[in-house]
Amino acid sequence: MSNEENSNQSSGKPGKFGLIEHLTRNAVIYNKSTITGPGDDSAVIDSGNDLSLVSTDLLLEGIHFNLVYTPLKHLGYKAVIRAISDIYAMNGTPEQILTAVGISSRFSVKHLDELYEGISLACKRYRIDLAGGDTSSSLTGMSISVTAIGRAGTDSIVRRNGARPNDLICATGNFGAAYMGLQVLERERKIFDNDNKIQPDLSGYEYIIERQLKPEFPAKVLTGLSSANILPSSMIDVSDGLASDLIHLCRQSGTGCRIYYDRIPVDNETWKTAEEFNIDPMIPALNGGEDYELLFTLPLRYAEAIKSVPDVAMIGHMTVPEQRCFLITNQYSEVELKAQGWENG
């Protein structure tokens, strides 16, 4: 037993393994492929004839989140979404996660209960098993690492390098909301820091704040694609910004692209808030990041079939690489896309 674990037990606090047992005591196994869950050295996963997918995501206090306005329950939920989005983006099904949390002395077991409540809610919603993890002391703040494990069929996995010139570019949901939600939260934090008698006013910003603090992933779109017998040629989850992730698809696939200003979906609340901040709404839509939407390409033969899949917009097409990556404005002028999105995520 380590000195840390010994001192924790002698002081009446749960040791490392006791804490893990406490935090995972309500974990429910939803998938038969989870052979061993919390409690052993490793999670044992039977992937059968499918391909196993594993992805890890790290969140650092002060870099990825601010606990002044981020509830721990929401943070746990968001940490899961960030991790599983990479599995979904390969047309896979996430089934297990492992969590690793670093905590300083200012966090109590109650705080961790709140964090893991959010993790459990996300697991329940997306039917994912919390299959293990770790905790450690930290000298400063909190860090959260989530490893997602999933599977994909050998004939249905989608990578980033499969797009070809003339493929349609499609996107789910809308863009820029999370970024503008963050701007509102930061504005209210600064007001409160200057005068703590002034309470934050978040009315009218509910949607964009939820997109920042507790995002959802459009997993049902993948079900819709499968039902319509549509297999994307390439796909990526939009976490760094629409422009950055589209450029990444183009580089991986060896293509250029054209997307159209008036086809990029932006929610009305996002649009209004951007104008309130004197920001062109297309700037957060292209570069804001943390949207957790799907961006994918399709061969032209799917042009009619994709119209039957809800919550999908066709925003442009792939070109030959020599034509580079451009946004076409409403005046039909070309603006070259730049990778200016979030790079710490």
- Whether 237 shows a pLDDT value over 90: the answer reads yes
Per-residue model confidence (pLDDT) at position 23 = 84
Q: Classify burial at 47, counting beta carbons within 10 Å of its beta carbon; exposed 0-12, middle 13-18, buried 19 or more.
A: middle
> Could you read off the pLDDT of 241-270 as tens digits, one per residue?
999 999 999 999 999 999 999 999 999 999
The tokens of 82 are what? 């960030």
Tokens 């052979």 found at: 35
3-152: CATH topology is 60s Ribosomal Protein L30; Chain: A; (3.30.1330)
Residue pair 224/309 in contact (Cβ under 8 Å)? The answer is yes
Q: Alpha-carbon distance 108 to 112, whole Å?
A: 7
Q: What is the mean pLDDT of residues 307-330?
A: 96
> Could you read off the pLDDT of 15-43 as tens digits, one per residue?
666 777 788 888 888 988 886 667 655 56
Tokens 């306005």 found at: 69
The whole-chain average pLDDT of the chain stands at 90
Q: What is the mean pLDDT of residues 2-14?
A: 47
Q: What is the mean pLDDT of residues 39-55?
A: 73
DSSP codes joined into one string, 28-66: ----TTEEE-TTSSS-EE--TTSEEEEEEEEEEBTTTB-
Read off the DSSP letter of residue 130.
E
- Whether 197 shows a pLDDT value over 50: the answer reads yes
Q: What is the mean pLDDT of residues 85-94?
A: 94
- Whether 149 shows a pLDDT value over 70: the answer reads yes
Q: Considering only CA atoms, which of 309, 174, 333, 340 is closest in space to residue 258?
A: 333
Confidence class for position 227, pLDDT limits 50, 70, 90: very high
State how beta strands 168-172 and 293-298 pair: antiparallel
Confidence class for position 6, pLDDT limits 50, 70, 90: very low
Residue pair 235/160 in contact (Cβ under 8 Å)? The answer is yes
Q: Alpha-carbon distance 342 to 240, whole Å?
A: 5
Q: What is the mean pLDDT of residues 148-171?
A: 94
Higher pLDDT, residue 13 or 195? 195
Residue pair 213/78 in contact (Cβ under 8 Å)? The answer is yes
Higher pLDDT, residue 61 or 35? 61
pTM given for the model: 0.87
Identify the CATH assignment for 168-336 out of 3.90.650.10, 3.50.50.60, 3.30.1300.10, 3.40.50.12780: 3.90.650.10
Return the ∠ at Cα 61 (arms to 283 and 110), rounded to 5°: 130
Residue pair 166/303 in contact (Cβ under 8 Å)? The answer is no
State the DSSP H helix or E strand holding residue 123, giving kind and residue range, or none if neither.
helix 109-126
Per-residue model confidence (pLDDT) at position 131 = 92
State the DSSP H helix or E strand holding residue 253, giving kind and residue range, or none if neither.
helix 242-253
The tokens of 44 are what? 């044992």
The tokens of 131 are what? 């299959």
Q: What is the mean pLDDT of residues 89-116?
A: 94
* Domains of the chain by residue range: 3-152, 168-336
- Whether 114 shows a pLDDT value over 70: the answer reads yes
State how beta strands 93-103 and 51-60 pair: unpaired
State how beta strands 93-103 and 234-238 pair: unpaired
Q: Alpha-carbon distance 30 to 131, whole Å?
A: 11
Confidence class for position 10, pLDDT limits 50, 70, 90: very low
Per-residue model confidence (pLDDT) at position 39 = 61
Q: Considering only CA atoms, which of 17, 18, 42, 126 is closest in space to residue 81?
A: 126
Confidence class for position 3, pLDDT limits 50, 70, 90: very low
Strand extents, DSSP E, the chain: 34-36, 44-45, 51-60, 93-103, 129-137, 142-152, 168-172, 234-238, 256-260, 293-298, 312-319, 325-328, 334-336
Residue pair 239/307 in contact (Cβ under 8 Å)? The answer is no
SS3 content of the chain, % helix, strand, coil (to 5): 35, 25, 40
Higher pLDDT, residue 3 or 169? 169
Q: What is the mean pLDDT of residues 294-323?
A: 97
* CATH topology match: 3-152 vs 168-336: no
Confidence class for position 192, pLDDT limits 50, 70, 90: confident
Per-residue model confidence (pLDDT) at position 94 = 96
Return the ∠ at Cα 71 (arms to 182 and 345), rounded to 5°: 50
